[in-house]
Amino acid sequence: MMKKAHFILLALLSLPLFLTPAYADHLMNHYTPESQQQRCNDQLGRDCFCWEIGKCEFASDPFGVMTMPFDEVFGGLALVIFWSVIVGILWLRTENPMLVGMIGTAMTATYLASLETLQDVPEEFDQARMIGGVLFAVSLGFTIYHIIQSKILSPPQ
């Protein structure tokens, strides 16, 4: 037992010797902003986004900056995908169609209402509006089905 403990301790102490060194090239102010942008462009072979080089204005729009990478990948549907994951997890945890229907309806309504406050609505929002309408119809269908089923299966009073 003692030999095993010594071997594990020796392996853990010698682990840093076998790791490759890490360099701090990514730290802010290590390069000038122009050279950071140029270096990123050269490495990736395309124009880099502000979040890749750390030049986004996080203090002025934190939510927008946090969703920028997801909007780039999902094409403006990042919030719809996040909300669908939340509703899916809620369904798996509660298995209550009424609760999931109400939450889904509220989320869809807030997303569709946010379109009224935007000045420049991207074309992805039309597709998101269609997906929101389908989600609304599905959640409404679940809610109506649950009401009818609970009334049929309830005992007479």
Is residue 26 pLDDT above 60, yes or no? no
19/9 Cα distance (integer angstroms): 17
Query: Has this prediction a pTM greater than 0.75?
Result: no
Q: Residue 37 contacts by C-beta under 8 Å, 6 or more apart in sequence?
A: 48, 53
Distance in angstroms (rounded) separating the CA atoms of residues 89 and 96: 12
Tens of pLDDT, residues 76-116: 677 778 888 888 898 899 888 778 777 877 777 776 676 66
